[in-house]
Amino acid sequence: MVNTKVELCNITLDNPVIPASGTFGFGYEFAELYDINCLGTFSFKGTTKDARFGNPTPRIAECDRGMINAVGLQNPGVEAVIANELPKLKECFNKPVMANVSGFSVEDYVYTCEKLDKEEQVGWLEVNVSCPNVHGGGMAFGTSAEAAAEVTRAVKAVTTKPVIIKLSPNVTDIVSIAKACEAAGADGISMINTMLGMKIDLKTKKPVIANKMGGFSGPAIKPVAVRMIYQVYEAVNIPIVGMGGVSSAEDVIELMLAGATAVEVGAANLIDPFAARDIVNDLPRVMEKYRINNLSEIIGGAH
């Protein structure tokens, strides 16, 4: 019997499969389709201090081996998430959930994280300093080691739960940013977020997305994710939550060998709402195929 359990920041997961923020709503939407308690956990929709309508439409474009999105962090704001979304989630999910937080200033991040840190259901705070499709925030913090470290320090000062910083791949040196976050007190690193992409309509001769650019995700970015996870694993001593183009149990194993402790599934959920469940169910078969008895023993195994 294979063992799929892993430990993320001192919290045990039944398996390492985590639907990624922005692709799984607040969980209860998917609970209508299957029992989401089969998942390790999931990262809920990116939450900001105030409600956001998001970017103008169109904000989704299909591409070869992936998609571009510029949703722009549409969410009801942290107070509404705590009052309305978390109680609905509690009815269908009995595990700690990962709270994904975005902001447009250090003060925004601090306010939202401090609020969510007090919620019993929240196990980890995934602090997104890497959203490529909002103006005046998000990725601006994630492209500078100093700014990412400043957000990390400020959030850690007001929270008690593990803080996992979600990094952008749209940088020259992701290792230096990861190290700066670790030095500032981060409990983990989450990577990679989407890459900055664009698509032009040949008929209109204009960008397909109203925002012009957006986050490119899907299977096409997986080799970049594997490379960056591998590099950061060699440089830090805190766990990595890996993601980027994951759509199978084999992909989960590959990212774990590169150095991920747990693995998020993003764009695949938007193509097939059962994707994360099917990956969980297929993990034991793939582990047996590659003679893996204990998943936690393969973390960083490619090094």
**Of these residues, 9, 38, 63, 131, which one is catalytic?**
131
Cβ-based neighbour number of residue 229 at 10 Å: 29
Q: Is the Cβ–Cβ distance between 279 and 17 less than 8 Å?
A: yes
Q: Which one, of 94, 70, 126, 109, lies nearest residue 241 by Cα?
A: 126
Q: Is the Cβ–Cβ distance between 189 and 150 less than 8 Å?
A: no
Which helix H or strand E contains 99, and what residues bound it? strand 97-101
Q: How far apart are CA 27 and CA 6, in angstroms?
A: 21
Q: How far apart are CA 190 and CA 42, in angstroms?
A: 13
131 is an active site residue: yes
Q: Is the Cβ–Cβ distance between 286 and 269 less than 8 Å?
A: no
Catalytic residue ranges: 131
